[in-house]
Amino acid sequence: MSDGAFRVDLSEVEQFVNDLRAFVSRAQDQVDALNKDIDRLHITWRGEAAQAHRDAHQRWVEGMGHLRDGISDIARSADHSHRAYTGVQELHQKMWP
């Protein structure tokens, strides 16, 4: 498309949104499982090293939260674009059957 035009493959956009949402869900499942493991570990682990580990884990969880939120924002934006392009496509089909 050397004329500056571009095409949007709506099925690809939809798949991208689904893949992002699936990633967020899997990542959250992993964080939840890890949190349970960490909680079990800290039932018996005490002291300065244990607290340093818990603090580091908390920072990691916060970072994962930022990552999850960012990817969720991308998924929402891509979904919005998908719906907008779909709407335009449907409108054009109604105008020129």
Tell me whether residue 14 is in a domain: yes
Tell me whether residue 29 is in a domain: yes
Residue 38, domain CATH: 1.10.287
Tell me whether residue 3 is in a domain: no
Tell me whether residue 48 is in a domain: yes
In 3D space, the residue among 12, 19, 57, 15 whose CA is nearest the CA of residue 36 turns out to be: 57
Residue-wise pLDDT tens for the chain (97 aa)? 567 788 889 899 999 999 999 999 999 999 999 999 999 999 999 999 999 999 999 999 999 999 999 999 999 999 999 999 888 888 888 888 6
Measure the N-to-C terminal CA separation of the chain; round to a whole number of Å.
25
Tell me whether residue 21 is in a domain: yes
The H or E element that residue 77 is part of is: helix 48-95
What range defines the domain where residue 83 resides?
Answer: 10-95
For the chain, the domain total comes to 1
Alpha carbon distance 59, 38 (integer Å): 13
- CA distances to 11, 34, 36, 52, 68 from 78, rounded to whole Å, are 12, 30, 33, 39, 15
